Amino acid sequence: MPKDFISVADWSADDLLRMLERAQQLRRLHRADKRPQTLQGRTLAMYFEKPSLRTHVTFEAGMAQLGGHAVLLRPEQVGIGTRETPRDVALNLSRWVDGIMARTFSHDLVCELAKHATIPIINGLTDLLHPCQAMADLQTIAGVMNPRQATLAYVGDGNNVAHSLILLAAVLGMRIRVATPASHRPDLGVMSQAEDLGAESGAEIFWTDDPLAAVKGVDFIYTDTWTSMGQEDEAEQRREIFARYQVNQGLIEHAPDARLMHCLPAHRGEEITGELLDGPRSLVYEQAENRLHSQKAVLEAVMLTSSAP
């Protein structure tokens, strides 16, 4: 098994499905007020360069509920790249704690930390990927139907959330349709990696710039903000580019049974109407809940197999 959880594409379908099964079990246990203490005495360092509600709270609460502890590190305290190098930060933390969860702008920084750390690194979102979100989304889809029989449409920006969903579908052999403007397609490297993985797994991946073609008859429609963290200066321009990609009543009429997904935070009235986000077909709070359980499964998977330096 890989040391780190940086991309779902580093993991096999069997590994991801085992994590899903454990996440489902952990959710049942949690709801029955049972808290298995599998990470007793272990510590996770959490490093955030960007804001967070869900990722921060679910990792911190998740560690505590499994009997462990989490330490929050802010970039201004640590000074990666200014006060000290990523290598020194990784080597120091490896002597004290059992894992690092990092949310960074640069994807390369997370890879650099992983290269030098002897402890596992978990990607809590980079500009390129958001694998923990994809695992919670998998658990949410599995709560409705067999993910391998589901068809999911992603509509909007070809961003980090889209990338991890696409790679997840590619590893697991799912059906995914991705509708983005031609100017904001997913990253070319991610598209080609997904094509390669999909050829092995039997995944059906369809790229289009037409939201209607993507959503027709699907089981799930997923969207994310048009302006990701760090792109705030482009918000105005992005609202124009993505206007025809809004998930609204007119669009979902082409998928009468579809459930609606969004990683949150949402901009109601932009990428999705408030009526739909808060309506009966929305799964957004299931997704948010499953962040807790699916990340506990990830934490166990990487921490219980790693060895001390």
224 scored as a contact of ligand NVA (CB under 6 A): yes
The partner in contact with residue 53, picked from ligand CP, ligand NVA, none with C-beta cut-offs of 5 to 8 angstroms by kind, is ligand CP
**Interacting residue with ligand NVA among 111, 190, 252, 263 (CB under 6 A):** 263
Does residue number 123 form part of the binding site for ligand NVA (CB under 6 A)? Answer: no
**Residue 190 sits in the site that holds ligand NVA (CB under 6 A):** no
Which residues are tagged catalytic? 103, 130, 133, 224, 263, 291
Site stretch for ligand CP (CB under 6 A), options 32-40, 48-56, 89-97, 137-145? 48-56
Q: Which residue is nearest to ligand NVA (CB)?
A: 228
What is the x/- site pattern for ligand CP, positions 88-127, by CB under 6 A?
Answer: -------------------------------------x--
- 277 part of the interface to ligand NVA, by CB under 6 A: no
Indicate whether 53 belongs to the interface with ligand CP (CB under 6 A).
Answer: yes
In the complex with ligand NVA, the residue whose CB is nearer, 68 or 156, is: 156
With tokens 């997704």, the residue in question is 287
Under the binding rule (CB under 6 A), the answer on residue 228 touching ligand NVA is yes
- Which residues of the chain form contacts with ligand NVA (CB under 6 A)? 159-161, 224-225, 228-229, 263
